[in-house]
A = this chain, B = another copy of it.
Amino acid sequence: MSKSSTVTVREKPVEQVASASVGGLTIHGETFVVQTEQRIELVDLTKTVMEFVRKFNMREGLVTLWSMHTTCALFINEFQSALIDDLRSLIEKIVPERDGYRHDDPRVSDCERGNAHSHLRAALLGRTITVGVNNGELTLGRFQSIIFAELDGPRRREIAVQVIGE
C-alpha cells in the first residue's frame, strides 16, 4: 500500500487570467491569492468577488468560485464575529485535531504536516460556491457573505473564480 497521494498533473499550468468570448457570451476565469496568517482563519471574500463581477459589466450569468487546495473551504453564511467563533468550535468538535488519524501516522502516510483534521473539516464544509449574477451584481441575500475558511494556515492560497454570462 502506497503512503503517497495520487497527484493531479496538468500538461500546462493554470493560467492566471483566461478569457473566451463566444457570440456575445463571455467566459472569464482568474485566480487570486489569499495569504492567511492564522492556523484557522475565516475571511470574507464577498467584496472581492463582487468587484470581479462588476469589472466585466456582466448583466446575467453565473459565478463559480473554487479553491485549488484540499485543506481549506469556501461556503456562504453570515459573517459575524460571534457566529464565526461558533462555526470554528463546531468543526473542532465534530473533527477533533487529534483522533488517531492514519494520515498523520508516518508508518502509513508520507504527509509530514499532521493535518488529517484539516482535510476532513474541508470535506465537510465544501470547496465550491456557485452564485448567480442578476442585473450586474451577485444574487446574494443581505446577510449572505462568501466565506473562505483557512483550516491549515498560515498559507498562501489560490482561489479560482469564473464568470459565464452576458
Binding site for B on A (CB under 8 A): 1-12, 14-15, 18-20, 22-25, 27-29, 44, 46, 50, 59-62, 64, 66-70, 75-83, 85-87, 90, 94-95, 101-103, 105, 108-109, 111, 116, 119-120, 122-132, 134-145, 158, 160, 162, 164-166
Contact = CB atoms under 8 A, between A and B. Distances in A.
A139 to B, nearest CB: 5
A2 B80 CA distance: 8
B86 A101 contact: yes
Contacts of A136: 11-12
Given A86-B101, A111-B80, A10 B94 contact: no
Contact of A135 (B18, B124, B140): B18
B158 A12 contact: no
Given A5-B79, A86-B101, 10 more contacts: A3-B82, A5-B83, A5-B143, A6-B79, A20-B61, A77-B122, A78-B119, A83-B111, A86-B103, A123-B125
